Structure 1
Amino acid sequence: MRRILAALAVAATVFAAAACTSDDGGKPAPPAGGGTRISLGVIPIVDVAPAYLGKKKGFFSSRGLDLTLVQEQGGAAIVKGVAGGRYQFGFSNATSLMAAQADGVPLKVVANGVTSNGRPGRDFSAVVVPDDSPIKSAKDLAGKKIGVNALKSLGDTTVRQSVRRAGGDPAKLVFTALPFPEMPAALQSGQIDAAWVVEPQLSEALTQGSQVIASNFVDTAADLTVALYFTGSTTATQDADVVGRFTAAINESMAYATAHPEEVRDIIGTYTPISDVVRTSMILPDWPHDINRPSLERLATLGSEDGIFTRPPALDQLLP
């Protein structure tokens, strides 16, 4: 971990040198059209639809922010991107953020990101298997190859919890890392036995002949806070005005997404390929402003039991 932190520090120095002029105080130069350039690391899934929708609706530009969205495979990669200075803000699952914080990476959550809708069998996240699979419940996943978008992250912990609740052995799961967009095809080809997917890949997998065997977020905690928007601790302190404007913009974006689900369905097709069938059948998550801290405490406990954290995460330091 010391080597990783050292590498991130070097990367941050290089980024700062490339992005700043000699008299700009170390901040990114404003775009020609005015405003402050900011970048946000995201994953091409339904969770971040409010950010894309908010950019389209002008919620960021109206606050003097010129937003660029950068796609990554998973939350851990986004954490590294923010810590290394590749972008100022990130969207990451809560487990990856807690793991990084426990390892000493200086991060600060600035807003809630997405929350489970809490409906078993109808959440926006699920573990799926082919229709003809011998796997009938989460208990049967022991010894099977399960696709997750990143190892030792939210997928590990929540899928293991589904297995625990079904009476199976969570220590016998075999995880394989794949990008979410590749999951449905990998499942149908037999590359993996089961997949943890979120929307829109959940609906894509179901339309291709798969079925839900577990709602892993629902099995983990009531109204689970799944992911959050965050920045580096230095940015949170030194650029508090920019952080405040970003937080206000993303909160407005989430409120707008909640009130306009059809626009959410439309915007998703602009940043990840989906069919009309998937667009109309997608199960949407919740986007409340409030962070469900008890659910994060539950994730922290489970992550510690699973050996994901080197030490217990300090939620008081990480959360606003």
Structure 2
Amino acid sequence: MRTWTRTGAALAATALLATGCGGGSDAESSPETGGGESGPTTVTVADTAGAPLYFLTYGQQQGFFEDAGVTLDITASTGGATVIPQLVGGDLDVAGSNVVSVLIAAGEGLPVRMVAGGTSTSEESEQDFSGLVVRADNPATSIADLEGQRIAVNTLRNINDIVLGAMLEEAGLARDSVTFVELPFPDMAAAIEGGDVAGALLIEPFLTIAEQQGMKIIGRPYTELKPGLQIGTYVMSEQFIGENPDVVEAFQEGVQATADSIREDPDAFRAALPEIGDVSPELAEQVRINLWQGASDEESLELIQDLMVDYELLDEPVDLDEIVVG
């Protein structure tokens, strides 16, 4: 499996193509301040509440980003496309999103670039940090049994459309045979319990919480599409990359160091969850730990993009060599 690599020259070349969109043009975010004598550069970043956000928080706590030359100003988001306008408008330097939302934005001509890989799922289905969940008394045993019903997802037109669409097709159903309902992850279990939706696609720690409340998993959408599938990505605007190549490289270094640390010592990450997230020690011992690779995974991106074209989320493939900076 190959991952993209680019040189600093490619980052510099991006400056020639920079548009008027994006943030980071002030002195604090300039390349000269990236880990220089004035200290680490502060980078504003938003990521999806739950496991993705815990990753960045852990890296910040452990000093990996500061060692690389950046300090993260982290806020939580609902994920998906919600962070793209903030990024393009300059309110964020980095956005954590899913690859589908970012590919849609790129296909619409927005100047967004993937600079690092976000969350990936496990190679083993039982350790998939996502799950399609229904009430325990629901007779459904797979997505095929939810035909004509409502499924909660955190945002529309994102990775949910791809992985659940693939599950529906595998079950011999049309992709529109269920209705997706947009809900924040923390609200999904209550919506299932109240009958507002039949099921929900949850990620950790909300997946384990739902299980503790007596709900059951009837599908593993991420690993069923591809074991080790890359779900998330970190995105910057084209302008920010062109103006701040040192900051880009420092952020990438921090992401890679954090990913390596969690892969080598997942128990340390698990032990930190009660401090860095709204996770009890008991819950921290049970949640499934995401995988992070640091770099973008070409095989995952190509698979997802091909399905996006098939599912009419993209009119045509985008140039991955252009939008992936790694």
Equivalent-residue separation in structure 2 for 1:120 and 1:170 (angstroms):
22
Change (3 A) 1:94 1:54: same
Alignment check: 8 A CA contact 2:46 2:95 kept:
yes
2:6 — aligned with what?
none
User: CA deviation digits over 1:181-215, x for unaligned, max 9?
Assistant: 21122222222110001111110111111111111
Equivalent-residue separation in structure 2 for 1:279 and 1:184 (angstroms):
19
After the TM superposition, which residues 1-320 of structure 1 pair with which residues of structure 2 at under 5 Å, given as runs?
Answer: 20=26, 24=27, 27=30, 34-320=39-325
3-state DSSP of counterpart to 1:281: coil
User: CA deviation digits over 1:163-195, x for unaligned, max 9?
Assistant: 211222222120011111211222222221100
3-state DSSP of counterpart to 2:218: strand
Q: How many residue pairs align between the two structures?
A: 305
**Structure 1 runs of 4+ off > 4 angstroms?**
9-12, 25-31
Equivalent-residue separation in structure 2 for 1:249 and 1:112 (angstroms):
12
Equivalent-residue separation in structure 1 for 2:242 and 2:271 (angstroms):
36
Two-structure CA RMSD over aligned residues (Å): 2.5
Change (3 A) 1:181 1:25: closer
Alignment check: 8 A CA contact 1:140 1:168 kept:
no
Change (3 A) 1:55 1:128: same
Which ranges in structure 2 are unaligned for 5 or more consecutive residues?
1-18
Which ranges in structure 1 are unaligned for 5 or more consecutive residues?
1-8
- Residue 286 of structure 1 and its aligned partner are, at CA, apart by 1.4
- Residue 64 of structure 1 and its aligned partner are, at CA, apart by 2.9
State the percentage of identical aligned residues: 25
3-state DSSP of counterpart to 1:69: strand
Equivalent-residue separation in structure 2 for 1:310 and 1:65 (angstroms):
37
TM-score (norm 2): 0.86
- Residue 26 of structure 1 and its aligned partner are, at CA, apart by 7.9
1:5 — aligned with what?
none
User: CA deviation digits over 1:111-133, x for unaligned, max 9?
Assistant: 11121113224311111111111
Segment of structure 1 superposing worse, 264-273 or 177-186 = 264-273
Change (3 A) 1:232 1:136: same
Higher relative contact order (CA 8 A, sep 6+): 2
1:158 maps to a residue whose letter is: V
Alignment check: 8 A CA contact 1:187 1:194 kept:
yes
Equivalent-residue separation in structure 1 for 2:250 and 2:147 (angstroms):
46
1:218 maps to a residue whose letter is: T
TM-score (norm 1): 0.87
3-state DSSP of counterpart to 1:40: strand
Alignment check: 8 A CA contact 1:115 1:226 kept:
yes
Change (3 A) 1:262 1:316: same
3-state DSSP of counterpart to 2:90: coil
